[in-house]
Structure 1
Amino acid sequence: MKIPYTINKNTLEAYKPSAQTKELLSEQLRKVIAENFEWDKDQCPSLEEFCISTIAKYFQEKPLIDELPGHDWVLLLDELALDLPLEFAIPVIFDEYYWEKRFKKVFRFCWRKKLPNWTWKGIYLERHCQKLIEEGEPQYNDEESFGEILDLCNPYVTRLYIEQLQTWKPPLTMAREDIPEVWPIEHLNMIPIFKKLQNIQELDITFGMKNVGEDFTWDMFEVSHADVQKLSKAILELQSLKILRIHRSNLDFKHCQILIRTLVKCFTVEVLDLSHCQIGDTGAMCIGYLLKEGTNLKVLNLTDNKIGKIGAEALGFGILQGKCGYLNDLNLRLNPLKTEGAMGIMRCLVRSGTPKRISMAACMFEEDTPLKVCQMLKLNDTLKKLDISSNYFGEECGDYLVEAVSLNTCIEWIDCREIDINQSQKEQIDEFLLRNRKAAQLEAKINRLENDEAEIEVEENNFEFPLSI
């Protein structure tokens, strides 16, 4: 007897008799064992099973869905082939059980965080689109052949992670004398792809290659200006884009300039991640211009981008213009800010209410920098989280840090690992931070109660007594 997938396997295990129960004399004398679902294992399959197997075999030719009752459709899902063409399966099969089986067979497991309204069909088609783009070869213009399948995937694809992009290679049909000595640095054109996938809200892309083996060349990790120009035009096609990550790539300041020209026109992006690139001070100035002109950015990640004094001052100036009040999180770790660069950021922290969270970990703080950080904490009343780890403070500056945190009633988290302060100073800092967190929780609770009372008063004022008969 075949158990349908709609019955939970844990339920079957819960009602399964134990080994000790089977050894009882009364159990051994039973002729009818209702809990034995394998009683017909050695018998000929029923006519119903033969019919379902036949329907599954010819399902692509005659997709019988509405004609089958619910129980038979459940049994059919176990028999359907998992290699049906997507052009056929997407508009016909909507059951999550089929797409879960297909996903686990092809991709095994999902390592991405699932969105609240995720479906197995959605994450399967997202991974399928990712595979198409990562394996597409620019010398054959493969992006032009994706049209039909991308139209079918469009309603289900909201996130796209691209971990590698193939570089241009001489086509097999090209004559040897026509092969150029220096190959062009070109990747897949994203414009026709994003014209089809217009529901993308999160785009994560890396220019590079994985598992190249003996064919390794440094050109595989280069990015041309034409690539960024095409990508920028493609981004404008995404009207719902909220998260943009272009990281672990050889992007320099010229690439950043091209990208910023597009982001100035794109007001939907809330998260911008350019971490582990090479934009430098000039690229940071371009991002400062973006902040100055006004944007809806809430999170800005510029980790490991060789940003120094000029770039940090440009970012601070852009934040101070007052048109980027949405920025809450700024990550500048692993950049050689030193004293002057850190001062460019801390000036905006004193004069502006943004950002609320900032990271300056491993930013090569000099002798005067820790004192400037302590002075900023005394004057700032909006900062919630601060990361200053892997910078030298010392025990003397540790005392100044304890004093600054004791006077600041807003800061809730400080990452002070590897800054060479003693354990006593760390414990004092943690006590003051705990005090601030408890005060913030109490204030939030009071505000919530006041809002509830206000809603009750509005409902009472709007209440109308029924007319008497």
Structure 2
Amino acid sequence: MRIPHIINKNTFNEYKPSPESLELIGEGDRTLVSENFDWNKDHCPSLVDLCVQTISKYFHRNPILHKLPCVEHDHLLEIVSCDLPLIIAVTYIQDEYYWQRRYTTQFGLIHNRKPLDWTWKSLYLERSVQEILEQAQPQYNDEETFEEILSISAPYVQRLIITQLQSWKPPLTMEKEDIPEEYPTDHINFIFILRKLPLIREFDIVYGVNSAGEEFNLNMFKVSVADCQRLGRALLDLNYLTILRIHRSKIEYLHCQALMQNLIKNHTIVELDLSHCEIGDQGALCVANVLQCHPSLKILNLTDNNIREIGAEGLGFAMVQPGCADLEYLSLRLNPLGSEGVMCILRALVRCTIPTALSMSGSLFEGDTAENIALMLKMNDTLKRLELSSNWIGEEGGEALLQGLEVNTTLEYLDIRDTDVTSEQMKQIEKILMKNRCELHQPGEEIEEGIGEEEVEEKVVNYNTNESPEQALE
């Protein structure tokens, strides 16, 4: 007896007889076993079933799915081939069960998070486009051959995640004497590809190779400036793009400059992620130029980019500009900012109302930096989350943070793990943060015990550096 897929499998588990009931007297002598759904397993199939099997076999020639009655419609979805040509499947099959079956058959488990408005059909087509682009060979320049699959998938592809890109290899038809000693580092051209996928909202790309095998060489992980120039121009065709991630790649200053020259014209990106790249100070200044005029950027992730004092000073200068993006989260984690670089960010935090969440974990600051952070907390009334883990704060710095938090009424989370702050100080800090989260901490409480406002401004706002932010951005 065939059970259609529209009936949940848990239903059968609920109606299964318990082991105890099967041991009752008379159970073994029953001739009618209603819970046995395999009673006709060895029977000849009905004429209707044979017709559905024939329709499934020749579905690519005559796709008459919607002409079938409801029961046969469900039966056909369960047995129709998962290898149908994509143009036929996309055009004639909308049922999610078929696309779920096709996805699990070809790709197995889902490894990435699913968006809120996801469907199995969109997930399958996004993954299909991803696989084609990840296996594309740049030496053949055959991006135009993807036109059919891109045109078919375009209405359903809103998220494109590229986890690797193939590096240039000598074509099989190239003569041995024509093979260059050093291979080009260019990858496939995204200008033609993204032009065919105008509905993309999230674009995630990694320049590298996941399965290098015996052919491994360092050129596989290099990125050319031309790659970034073409990618930047291609992104301008995505009018709905809100999330851009270019991470875990050898993106250096010149690459970042080529990207920012085009991104400065963008007005839709909400999240920009350049984490685990190598943009350095000069690249951070390029990002600062975009930051101080972008109308919608809210999340900026610059984790692990070798940014030091100059880059931090440029970012701090951009944050205090009137036209700066309304940042909600800024991550400078794992950058060697040092005490001077952190101070540049602190000077901006006492002058502006952004961001509400900041990460400076593993920034290599020490000395009296914790005291300066405490002074900033006394003046800042917008910061809600601050991450300072894996830095040197110590017992004296922990005491200074306590004094700053006694005045601050907005900070809700403070990460000070691995900072050598005593356990007692951490408990007191957590109590104050809990009050802020519960809105029980009264404004101005114990402010007379802290440092005066004039002294705070003198030490934090008028902090002297060797180079002005204006000079750093030039």
| Match runs of 1:140-159 below 5 Å | 140-159=140-159
Superposed CA RMSD in Å reads 1.5
SS of equivalent residue, structure 2 residue 421: coil
SS of equivalent residue, structure 2 residue 358: strand
Alignment partners' CA distance in 1, 2:184 and 2:145: 22
| Match runs of 1:447-462 below 5 Å | none
Counterpart check, 1:324 vs 2:327: no
Which residue number in structure 1 is paired with residue 6 of structure 2?
Answer: 6
SS of equivalent residue, structure 1 residue 152: helix
Counterpart check, 1:170 vs 2:149: no
Alignment partners' CA distance in 1, 2:270 and 2:378: 30
Q: What is the CA distance between 1:340 and its match in structure 2?
A: 1.2
1:291-323 residue CA offsets vs partner (Å, 9 max, x unmatched):
223331100000111111110000000110021
Unaligned runs of 5+ in 2: 443-474
SS of equivalent residue, structure 2 residue 66: coil
Q: What is the CA distance between 1:441 and its match in structure 2?
A: 12
Q: Is the 8 A contact 1:243 1:269 kept in 2?
A: yes
Q: What is the CA distance between 1:210 and its match in structure 2?
A: 1.1
SS of equivalent residue, structure 1 residue 146: helix
Q: Is the 8 A contact 1:296 1:324 kept in 2?
A: no
Q: Is the 8 A contact 1:302 1:331 kept in 2?
A: yes
SS of equivalent residue, structure 1 residue 66: helix
1:201-247 residue CA offsets vs partner (Å, 9 max, x unmatched):
00010111112121111111111111111101110111100000001
Q: What is the CA distance between 1:185 and its match in structure 2?
A: 1.2
Paired residue type of 2:14? A
1:251-283 residue CA offsets vs partner (Å, 9 max, x unmatched):
111111111111110000010000111111111
Which residue number in structure 2 is paired with residue 160 of structure 1?
Answer: 160
Which residue number in structure 2 is paired with residue 186 of structure 1?
Answer: 186
Which residue number in structure 2 is paired with residue 198 of structure 1?
Answer: 198
| Match runs of 1:43-54 below 5 Å | 43-54=43-54
Alignment partners' CA distance in 2, 1:315 and 1:275: 16
Alignment partners' CA distance in 2, 1:88 and 1:36: 38
Q: What is the CA distance between 1:105 and its match in structure 2?
A: 1.2
Which residue number in structure 2 is paired with residue 450 of structure 1?
Answer: none
> Percent identity over the alignment?
49
Paired residue type of 2:423? Q
Q: Is the 8 A contact 2:247 2:273 kept in 1?
A: yes
Alignment partners' CA distance in 2, 1:351 and 1:415: 23
Which residue number in structure 2 is paired with residue 261 of structure 1?
Answer: 261
Q: Is the 8 A contact 1:151 1:196 kept in 2?
A: yes
Q: Is the 8 A contact 1:338 1:369 kept in 2?
A: no
Number of aligned positions between the proteins: 443
SS of equivalent residue, structure 1 residue 167: coil
Higher relative contact order (CA 8 A, sep 6+): 2
Q: What is the CA distance between 1:325 and its match in structure 2?
A: 4.3
Which residue number in structure 2 is paired with residue 236 of structure 1?
Answer: 236
Runs of 4+ residues deviating >4 angstroms? none
1:410-439 residue CA offsets vs partner (Å, 9 max, x unmatched):
000000100101110000000000000001
Q: Is the 8 A contact 1:138 1:188 kept in 2?
A: yes
SS of equivalent residue, structure 1 residue 245: strand
Alignment partners' CA distance in 1, 2:138 and 2:288: 34
Counterpart check, 1:105 vs 2:105: yes
Which residue number in structure 2 is paired with residue 429 of structure 1?
Answer: 429
Alignment partners' CA distance in 2, 1:416 and 1:182: 48
Which residue number in structure 1 is paired with residue 250 of structure 2?
Answer: 250
Q: Is the 8 A contact 2:66 2:73 kept in 1?
A: no
SS of equivalent residue, structure 2 residue 439: helix
| Match runs of 1:30-109 below 5 Å | 30-109=30-109
Which residue number in structure 2 is paired with residue 403 of structure 1?
Answer: 403
Q: Is the 8 A contact 1:264 1:295 kept in 2?
A: no
Paired residue type of 2:31? K
Q: What is the CA distance between 1:366 and its match in structure 2?
A: 2.5
